[in-house]
Chains A and B, each alone.
Chain A
Amino acid sequence: MTAGVAGLSVVDLREVALGFGDDCLVLSHRLAEWTTHAPELEEEMALANLALDLLGQARSLLTLAGEADGRDEDQLAYWRDDRDFRNLLLVEQPNGDFAVTMTRQLLFSTFQELLYRWMVTGTEPRLAAIAAKGVMEARYHVEHARLWVQRLGGGTEESHRRMCRALDLLWPYTEELFEPTESWSRAADQGAVPPLSSIEEPWRHSIESLLVDSGLEIPGFPAWQSGGRLGRHSEHLGHLLAEMQHLHRSHPNASW
């Protein structure tokens, strides 16, 4: 096995970049599904902006992931089936109502910002470069999601009810955020990425303090869903990919 920069093997670098790149790509697609359906014009633009940032990050990460075996970003995005995707189950969950979308964003973006912030000073220079750009964007995503969770949680009886429902629905998927794959653990040993256990506490603290401020609470049951990083997905991902990949597979290498 070839050793990459900082003693990180190319296979481990690929797995790490692929998992995190797939998170960005899949969530970007989910957010893009809101286009023309958002509750107000400003939110329409906001969701599209979030999607665009994540798509840009996905492109950088998938380009890096593909270097190991000569595949480019398009081959990775359009020519893999669901079993080969390595994203978290959380990001493939359907948009649901606006409370579900914003809760999903809060849970993921808080996680992503912490990861990026750590990786900026990590030992893998290309991951660090992507993180340095991404952390500035993730900060805005977190802020946006926090404002909405606060408004919905402390809003009307109906918005509060929907926030509670969204948290119950998505909480089971948070366990997986902090479960390292073997590649992730080795990359963490090399100092390229943080040990996931080190960001769990700050993540939980950030989420919990916001929920308390918003009249909400972390669900009382444990999180238990996992498998996305190993390619075991919910059936939702297949439907998402069918839509995302259809055009490219019908017209290979089409450009405009």
Chain B
Amino acid sequence: MPAGEELARRLAAEVPDPELPFLTLGDLGILRRVEVNLEGAVRVVLTPTYSGCPAVHHMADEVRRTLMAAGFPAVQVDTELSPAWSTDRLGPHAREKLEAMGIAPPPPMGKAPVALTLKCPHCGSLRTGELSHFGATACKSLWRCQECGEPFEHFKALR
């Protein structure tokens, strides 16, 4: 492995998501590969969560900026569709982080793709209902808790 590849991978994985800044590209499973050639040039491959995710360009810019600032002479960021991203690619801590931020995480792998009921991330009640399939970003839907009355977002299962 060329020198710096481990560093480049770690730095790229730590870049925050612009829409969910408490999650990193590593947490989200958006970072697919990091390669460093003998001249030290880096190639990073990202995969979009949704076909039209407008944050991908911002992420690519951030990865480029971060790696250049760390001294890598050249950084190329490509996106790759296949294999398609799904919420099963979320890292081990992503679900906990989402919940801590008041966003109900998608059900774990193997469970029904669309949750029938969700636990309210504010009060823990299961008396919740979906207001809209589509939320403020492509990856979220909008819910409300009938117990505490608070609305909350749900990171939709995609698979």
Query: Taking beta carbons and an 8 Å cutoff, which residues of A are in contact with B?
Result: 42-43, 45-46, 48-50, 52-57, 59-60, 125, 128-130, 132-134, 136-137, 140, 143-144
Q: What are the interface flags for B120-141 relative to A under an 8 Å C-beta threshold, 1 for contact and 0 otherwise?
A: 0000000000011111101000
The binding surface of chain A is classed by DSSP as helix
> In angstroms, how far is the closest chain B Cβ from the Cβ of A30?
15
Are A57 and B51 in contact (CB-based, < 8 A)? yes
Instruction: Specify which chain A residues have a CB less than 8 angstroms from the CB of B158 in the assembled complex.
Output: 136
B142 neighbours in A (Cβ, 8 Å): 42, 45
Which residue from B50, B84, B159 sits with its C-beta under 8 Å from A129? Answer: B84
18 more contacts with CB within 8 A, not counting A45-B132, A129-B81, A132-B82, are A42-B131, A46-B134, A49-B134, A49-B138, A52-B54, A53-B51, A56-B50, A57-B51, A59-B51, A59-B52, A128-B82, A132-B83, A132-B84, A133-B84, A136-B158, A140-B133, A140-B156, A143-B133
Contact B138 A53 (CB under 8 A): yes
Interchain nearest-CB distance for B31 vs A (Å): 17
Residue of A nearest to B159 (CB): A136
Provide the residues of chain A in CB contact with B81, threshold 8 Å: 60, 129-130, 132-133
Q: Is the CB of A137 within 8 A of B51?
A: yes
With contacts A45-B134, A45-B135, A133-B81 taken as known, whether A53 is within 8 angstroms of B52 at the C-beta atoms is: yes
| A-B pairs with beta carbons under 8 Å apart, 30 shown | A46-B133, A46-B134, A48-B134, A49-B138, A52-B52, A53-B138, A55-B52, A56-B48, A56-B52, A56-B53, A57-B52, A59-B51, A60-B51, A125-B82, A129-B81, A129-B82, A129-B84, A132-B81, A132-B84, A133-B48, A133-B81, A133-B84, A136-B84, A136-B158, A136-B159, A137-B51, A140-B133, A140-B134, A144-B133, A144-B134
Which residues of B106-159 have CB atoms within 8 Å of chain A's CB atoms?
A: 131-136, 138, 142, 156, 158-159
**Cβ contact within 8 Å between B134 and A56:** no
Query: For chain B residues 25-50, which have a beta carbon within 8 Å of chain A?
Result: 48, 50
User: How many of chain B's residues touch chain A, expressed as a range?
Assistant: 20 to 34
- Cα of A133 to Cα of B133 in the assembled complex, Å: 18
Chain B binding surface, main DSSP class: loop
Q: Establish whether residues B138 and A133, one from each chain, have CB atoms under 8 Å apart when the complex forms.
A: no
CA distance A203 to B142 in the complex (A): 29
Name which residue of chain A comes closest to B157, CB basis.
Answer: A136
With beta carbons under 8 angstroms apart, the residue of A42, A48, A53, A144 that contacts B50 is A53
Q: Which residues of B in the span 63-103 have a Cβ within 8 Å of any Cβ on A?
A: 81-86
Distance in angstroms between the alpha carbons of A204 and B54 in the assembled complex: 34
B86 adjacent to A136 (CB under 8 Å): yes
Q: How far is the CB of B113 from chain A (nearest CB, A)?
A: 8
A133 engages B85 (CB within 8 Å): yes
Which residues on the A side are within 8 Å of B52 (C-beta)? Answer: 52-57, 59
B139 CB → nearest A CB, Å:
10
Tell me the bound Cα distance from A54 to B84 in angstroms: 16
Residues of B within 8 A of A57 (CB): 51-52
Measured CB to CB, the nearest residue on chain A to B51 is: A56
By a CB distance below 8 angstroms, the chain B residues around A56 are 48, 50-53
Cα distance, A140 to B50, chains bound together (Å): 12
